[in-house]
Amino acid sequence: MEWPLLTTVQQLIAAALSLPADSGHVISRYAQESDNDVYVVHNDRGTKYIVCGVAKGAAPDADAHLRKCLLSVPTASIGIQLDATGQVTKIIRRSFRTGDFDYVASFEKPNILASAYRLEPKSLKPLTSNLENVLFEVHSAFRDIDGLHAPDALDEICKLIYAKLFDEEQSVKTGELLFQRSRYRSVEECAAEIRQLYLRAIDEDRAIFSNKIPTYERSRGVFREPLLLSSPAIVRAVELLQHHDLTASPVDIKGRAFQNVLAPAIRAGMGQYFTPKEVIDFIVRVMQPNVRELIIDPFCGSGHFLTSAIDYVRRMHAKADKLFHEFAFTRLHGIEKSDRMVRIAMTDMRLHGDGHSNIRCSDSLLPFSNYPDLYRETFDLVMTNPPFGIDLPRDSLTQLGPFELATVCGSTVSLEIVALERCLQLLRHGGRLAIVLPDSVLSNRNTAKVRSWIERHARVRAIISLPIETFSPFGANIKTSVLILRKHEVSETYTRNYNIFLADVDSIGYDASGRTCGESNLNAVADRFKAFIDKEGW
């Protein structure tokens, strides 16, 4: 078919791309510089997916001009240079990850007829146990196609899940799915549409939260980072995920699927951000969060204390009513400095049924005046595993705090010590804390003043010693314990006359390399602690 309404140049581009006139796609002029014109190809939704330069003469700067225009189109990765006769002279591919350009020999022309069958929202199927490795397949595709290391691949998976969940939510209103392969004529069009979908998700979040306390800026704003994947990698991920309804998939299967892509990131050197699942589930079990409690992890890393809490409350509450909905959307909070880890935590939280993911991308040790919606003595329960082994000079603490413990620890103070104080600052009077600490805090002579400070502010309910291999698979060989406290009530009289639960965990269920080894006695310790609390009280 001919393009009767197009200029000669546009007809040349359409012919070079083998783009049929009935495609609904548009070729529009984008820029002009000397003897080089630049046009952009839009699909029927208006998404720009190919940039074309047409040199009328010698145009020595045509290549540079094409690259400049390609950089200004956030959804396109391919630039095509044509001469005055419509012959393709160069094909440029842009890397979103490095910002570099490569010359390529060919590209897939947008002449593949879109399938008559397009995926409809009602055709999507939840993940099953047989398909829970689908995210790992995506992870492997990113490694094979783009050469991404595990942490970078995980980062891109989070962005794609963010876009797909948004598409599933929007499909309820629009009746159409954009996160699919069959509706697009080429790899480049499909990839551009997914990039556009991701940008729309960001804009929608910004609009939703713009009139509220800056939820977008504190957390969802971490998704402002662009998709860095190549077009083939995006399309392969779409092919793997398009038939699955992530929103409706069982929480436990989604959780395991996401764990399958977290494991390589841990092995690749991100272990410092993760706490063993066995320890997290144990702490959540002994702390017994309930549906009415306000919970925070001020050093949340990947957010697993929060996802474990939502799973525990879901099991205990046993129904998805308004109260549980409020718990999942408003009562689970976290703070984390790394924007990458916030993306990971938010993705995992959303897959577990938390619709807002109240994770703040911030330093948890700043003065409270820096937080627009975080206040002292607010939370019912704090569960956390702060970073170990970082000594902060007293001078650096002028930017943080203020912290009482900074004044009793000499010229330096360990981060875990000020982290402990921040946890108690966050707790309401009568609130509960479970924190993983190095044994040195609990036993060394030079931390005696820290222990005295703890006794003045809280009642110690348990010290549970963990085996030395607990954190070995995560790259840390340090002896730790779980310290469990209840913050004093306002009128409570300080006393040492009370019982404390002490336990020594002999086996955590794996050895120093992370291999399954023996039977864990965490459950037995949890049962004994529950019996202790039932008798002694908090």
CB distance 94 to 7 below 8 Å: no
| Per-residue pLDDT, 1 | 36
Q: How far is CA 100 from the centre of its chain?
A: 26
Chosen domain end from 69, 103, 137: 103
CB distance 313 to 327 below 8 Å: yes
In a domain, 94, yes or no: yes
Q: Is the pLDDT of residue 3 over 50?
A: no
In the chain, how many domains are there? Answer: 3
Q: Is the pLDDT of residue 11 over 90?
A: no
In a domain, 395, yes or no: yes
Residues with Cβ < 8 Å from 122, sequence gap 6 or more? Answer: none
What is the per-residue pLDDT across 25-82, written as a single tens digit (0 to 9) for each?
899 988 766 667 899 999 989 999 999 998 877 667 888 889 999 999 999 999 999 9
Residues 328, 196 share a domain: no
Q: Is the pLDDT of residue 4 over 50?
A: no
Continuous segment of H or E residues that includes residue 464: strand 458-465
Chosen domain end from 217, 241, 265: 241
More confident residue, 112 or 59: 59
Among residues 477, 479, 393, the alpha carbon closest in space to that of 444 is found at 479
What is the per-residue pLDDT across 415-448, written as a single tens digit (0 to 9) for each?
899 999 999 999 999 999 999 999 999 999 888 9
| Per-residue pLDDT, 395 | 66
Mean pLDDT, to the nearest integer, of 381-400?
Answer: 79
In a domain, 192, yes or no: yes
Residues 300, 177 share a domain: no
Residues 505, 367 share a domain: yes
Domain encompassing residue 449: 274-536
Residues 186, 61 share a domain: no
The DSSP secondary-structure symbol of 60 reads T
In a domain, 519, yes or no: yes
Residues 371, 225 share a domain: no
The number of beta carbons lying within 10 Å of the beta carbon of residue 497 is 4
Residues 182, 64 share a domain: no
Residues 311, 442 share a domain: yes
Q: Is the pLDDT of residue 216 over 50?
A: no
Among residues 305, 293, 369, the alpha carbon closest in space to that of 335 is found at 305
More confident residue, 226 or 219: 226
Q: Is the pLDDT of residue 209 over 70?
A: no
CB distance 44 to 17 below 8 Å: no
Q: Is the pLDDT of residue 414 over 90?
A: no
Q: Is the pLDDT of residue 410 over 70?
A: no
DSSP letter string, 490-527: TTPPP---S--EEEE----SB-TTS-B-S---HHHHHH
| Per-residue pLDDT, 116 | 55
In a domain, 269, yes or no: no
| Per-residue pLDDT, 521 | 94
Residues 514, 388 share a domain: yes
In a domain, 108, yes or no: no
Residues 128, 99 share a domain: no
Mean per-residue pLDDT over the chain, rounded: 88
Reported as half-sphere exposure (CB side, CA atoms, 13 A), residue 299 has a value of 23
Confidence of residue 5 (pLDDT cuts 50, 70, 90): very low
In a domain, 268, yes or no: no
Label residue 522 exposed, middle or buried (CB < 10 Å: 0-12, 13-18, 19+): buried
Q: How far is CA 61 from the centre of its chain?
A: 42
Residues 504, 368 share a domain: yes
Residues 170, 22 share a domain: no
Q: Is the pLDDT of residue 490 over 70?
A: yes
Residues 217, 162 share a domain: yes
What is the per-residue pLDDT across 227-261, written as a single tens digit (0 to 9) for each?
999 999 999 999 999 999 999 999 999 989 998 89
CB distance 395 to 424 below 8 Å: no
Q: Residue 285 sits in a domain of what CATH number? A: 3.40.50.150
Chosen domain end from 241, 265, 295: 241
Q: Is the pLDDT of residue 6 over 60?
A: no
Alpha helices in 210-276 (DSSP H): 215-218, 231-241, 251-265
What span, in angstroms and rounded, lies between the C-alpha atoms of 277 and 209?
Answer: 32
Mean pLDDT, to the nearest integer, of 359-367?
Answer: 91
In a domain, 265, yes or no: no
